[in-house]
Amino acid sequence: MAEAAKKRVLLTSVCRPFGPQHGDGFGVSYEGTHQLMWAQGIFRPRGTTTQWGIDFIAANLKTPTTTLNYPSLDELIAELRHGYDYVGIAFVATTIHKMKAMVAAIRRHAPTTKIILGGYGTALGDQIAPYADHVCQGEGVAFMRKLLGEPLDVPIVQPVVTQVSSLFSLPVLGRTGYVFAGLGCPSGCDFCATSHYFKRRHLRLLPDGAAIVNAIKRLRELHPDMTNFWINDEDFLLNEKRGRQFLAAIREAGLPPLSLSIFASVKALSQFTPLELVEMGIGWVWVGFEGKRAGYAKMQGRPYAELFRDLHAHGISVMSSMIIGFDYQTPAIIQEEFDELLSLRPSMTQFLIYGPAHGTPLHDRMTAEGRLTREMKDHKKHDGFSLVFDHPHIDATTMEATQRRLYHDDFSRLGPSVFRVVDDWLTGHLALRDHAEPRVRAKAARYGADAHRAMALLPASQRWLAPGPAAWVADLERRIAAATGPLTRTERLLAAVMPAMMRYTALRLRFDLGQQPKPTRRSYRQGVPDLPPVKLLPRLAAMLQRWAPSSRRALRSGLHTPS
């Protein structure tokens, strides 16, 4: 351990800037909402999703460690001057070009530093060997402890990772805390890099329900007002025993009504009633719709239509992902499945092209069949937005155009996803506010309060939408007012400000202002101060406000300009 204490470690995400104009594939972003709502313009919530794995590793080492999230290349080079024995880079296949530039910089400016490559990009195998002194595949804490000569049996601790999101350039819903409950998934869908990266095993970072609740409590000790949490686990409720332990621990915890977001399969959700999910605090679930004939085991359970209807009726929002590009799909079948999915009124949607990621059975099958195209060699196209194999019915140009159209059609038919979520809140409030169980009534009260606060955003939003969605939003406003009362004086003031904030947001999008992540630096066991947050200069902010009216021309993707 004396030897380990002498070492210093730097763990970093890939470098900013991001975007196709900076050499990235269309699907690459530092924001989780990009792949879900890129076509929704100003109605897409914004928030930086950090490379949380590096902070998870750093929090669980004894060796002094620094983490960087989204530095520029110059900032990375400046950090190297502090002197590190190891620099670890977390990357995926689509960001390999960024990783290569970072490796070149490290070798030039810190030639004695050992380079560690980690993340799903390491599935590329021999392709990355020239860039690394060490390759971390699988669970990173155990790998780094072994490399550094640290004990392997030290209990895992949860890092403090939180996120703040904005809508119309204003913070929404407060801070969200991340709870890291598990890695990997046993379902083993043929396309899933996550499942096969961990060899179809589920690694429990938090062993039981009580441990998960304790992690929530620890975050609340640091942020007492925080009630929004993301439970990071590929299929959180698949293990029914742990799920019921979590429900029992929540019932005994004395916590206020929570809003939890989770990944879950139909198979997992079918093991619990919607009311049990409400008691847990679950308010948002990501469910794979995939394709009707996909045949994955995780799709077994309650019929989609019945499950979605029950979840919405209890105020739970459903994010559903659809895959296009299965061999059985023709353009007509894709349209048919898309129409069926939209008939379920998902709160949010994702449409990705079937992709043979390295390390998956799909990649092995496509290789054996000789169906991979030359586009597969362009790692930027491994982003879910490109077709990289020969499809029996659809060419690449048609497939990619179809995918983009589905995103636009979803928005034009169902309206902004953020307001579909508000509609779910209102539905849950009305259905559960008189429930016999106090915990359920408390959750219903939170649904109502959240819906009421969102009402101030609705009047101005109607001017930016096509007639159908605008009429639906107007009706939503009337229904919220009828259930929760009219806007207060303060809320009316916020509603009056919203037109300017929407124009300001559109201006920022049009001129690419503030569309890159702010860098963060955290030190563990070193006493080195973190980088302060970057603040927008007041004079620049005022200038942007004056320019806001010119933002009307910034809207695209079927959005209507306000009159």
Query: Pick from 148, 172, 191: which residue ends a domain?
Result: 148
Residues 103-130 as b/e (b if ≥16 CB within 10 A, e otherwise) read bebbeeebeebbbbbbbbbbbbeeebee
Asked if residue 174 is part of any domain, the answer here is yes
What is the tally of structural domains in the chain?
A: 3
Same domain, yes or no: 168 and 274: yes
Asked if residue 526 is part of any domain, the answer here is no
271, exposed or middle or buried, with CB in 10 Å at 0-12, 13-18, 19+? middle
pLDDT at residue 421 greater than cutoff 60: yes
Asked if residue 364 is part of any domain, the answer here is no
Amino acid at residue number 299: M
Asked if residue 17 has a cis previous peptide bond (ω within 30° of 0), the answer is: yes
Indicate the average pLDDT of the chain: 92
Residues 6+ apart with CB under 8 A from 256: 227, 442
Same domain, yes or no: 177 and 233: yes
Specify the higher pLDDT residue, 548 or 337. Answer: 337
pLDDT one-digit tens code per residue, 451-493: 999 999 999 999 999 999 999 999 999 999 999 999 999 999 9
Asked if residue 385 is part of any domain, the answer here is no
The pair phi, psi for residue 260, each rounded to 5°, is: -105, 140
pLDDT one-digit tens code per residue, 309-353: 999 999 999 999 999 999 999 999 999 999 999 999 999 999 999
- Rounded to whole angstroms, how far apart are CA atoms 375 and 424? 41
Six-digit token string for 160: 């403090």
Query: Pick from 299, 334, 352: which residue ends a domain?
Result: 352
Secondary structure (H, E, C), 42-92: HHCCECCCCCHHHHHHHHCCCCCEEEEECCCHHHHHHHHCCCCCEEEEECC
Residue pair 312/318 in contact (Cβ under 8 Å)? The answer is yes
Backbone conformation region of residue 168, classed left if phi is above 0, alpha if psi is from -120 to 50, else beta? left
Quick one: pLDDT at residue 551? Answer: 33
Same domain, yes or no: 173 and 320: yes
Q: 3-state DSSP call for residue 490?
A: helix
Same domain, yes or no: 139 and 170: no
Q: What is the DSSP letter of 457?
A: G
Cα end-to-end span (Å), the chain:
68
Quick one: pLDDT at residue 408? Answer: 98
% of residues, the chain, pLDDT over 70: 93
- Rounded to whole angstroms, how far apart are CA atoms 161 and 140? 17
Secondary structure (H, E, C), 191-254: CCHHHHHCCCCCEECCCCHHHHHHHHHHHHHHCCCCCEEEEECCCCCCCHHHHHHHHHHHHHHC
Q: What is the CATH number of the domain that holds 193?
A: 3.20.20.70
pLDDT at residue 173 greater than cutoff 80: no
Q: What is the CATH number of the domain that holds 119?
A: 3.40.50.2300
- Rounded to whole angstroms, how far apart are CA atoms 159 and 42? 32
Under the banding of pLDDT at 50, 70 and 90, the label for residue 526 is confident
**Whole-structure pTM value:** 0.91
User: Domain limits at 472?
Assistant: 415-436+449-486
pLDDT at residue 532 greater than cutoff 50: no
Pairing of β 203-204 and β 182-183: antiparallel
Q: Cα torsion at 260, 265, 269, 270 (round to 10°)?
A: 170
Same domain, yes or no: 214 and 336: yes
pLDDT at residue 558 greater than cutoff 70: no
The stretch 185-206 carries a mean pLDDT of 94
pLDDT one-digit tens code per residue, 15-43: 999 999 999 999 999 999 999 999 999 99
Asked if residue 199 is part of any domain, the answer here is yes
Around 471, how many Cα atoms within 13 Å sit in the side-chain half-sphere?
A: 4
What radius of gyration, in Å, describes the C-alpha atoms of the chain?
24
- CA-nearest of 96, 22, 31, 33 to 357 is 96
Same domain, yes or no: 125 and 166: no
Which range has the worst mean pLDDT, 2-16, 266-280, 338-352?
2-16
Q: 3-state DSSP call for residue 23?
A: coil
Asked if residue 23 is part of any domain, the answer here is yes
Query: Pick from 325, 352, 379: which residue ends a domain?
Result: 352
- Rounded to whole angstroms, how far apart are CA atoms 317 and 45? 15
Quick one: pLDDT at residue 2? Answer: 46
Residue pair 118/13 in contact (Cβ under 8 Å)? The answer is no
Asked if residue 191 is part of any domain, the answer here is yes
Same domain, yes or no: 330 and 231: yes
Same domain, yes or no: 199 and 96: no
CA distance to 97, 325, 357, 402, 472, per residue, from 388 (Å): 18, 10, 10, 15, 39
Same domain, yes or no: 194 and 108: no
CA distance to 216, 259, 425, 485, per residue, from 442 (Å): 18, 12, 13, 18
Quick one: pLDDT at residue 360? Answer: 97
- Rounded to whole angstroms, how far apart are CA atoms 388 and 312? 36
Same domain, yes or no: 203 and 333: yes
- Rounded to whole angstroms, how far apart are CA atoms 148 and 143? 9
Under the banding of pLDDT at 50, 70 and 90, the label for residue 534 is very low
Q: What angle do CA 124, 385, 372 make, to 5 degrees?
A: 50
Same domain, yes or no: 137 and 222: no
The pair phi, psi for residue 439, each rounded to 5°, is: -65, -35
Asked if residue 406 is part of any domain, the answer here is no
Under the banding of pLDDT at 50, 70 and 90, the label for residue 525 is confident
pLDDT one-digit tens code per residue, 449-459: 999 999 999 99
DSSP states along 288-336 = EEE-TT---GGG-SS-HHHHHHHHHHTT-EEEEEEEE--TT--HHHHHH
Residues 6+ apart with CB under 8 A from 434: 441
Same domain, yes or no: 227 and 277: yes
Under the banding of pLDDT at 50, 70 and 90, the label for residue 174 is confident
The stretch 285-312 carries a mean pLDDT of 97
Helix 396-414 and helix 467-484, axial crossing angle in degrees, nearest 10: 40
Quick one: pLDDT at residue 527? Answer: 57
- CA-nearest of 561, 550, 563, 559 to 37 is 559
Quick one: pLDDT at residue 543? Answer: 34
CA distance to 191, 323, 342, 382, 392, per residue, from 406 (Å): 21, 11, 10, 19, 21
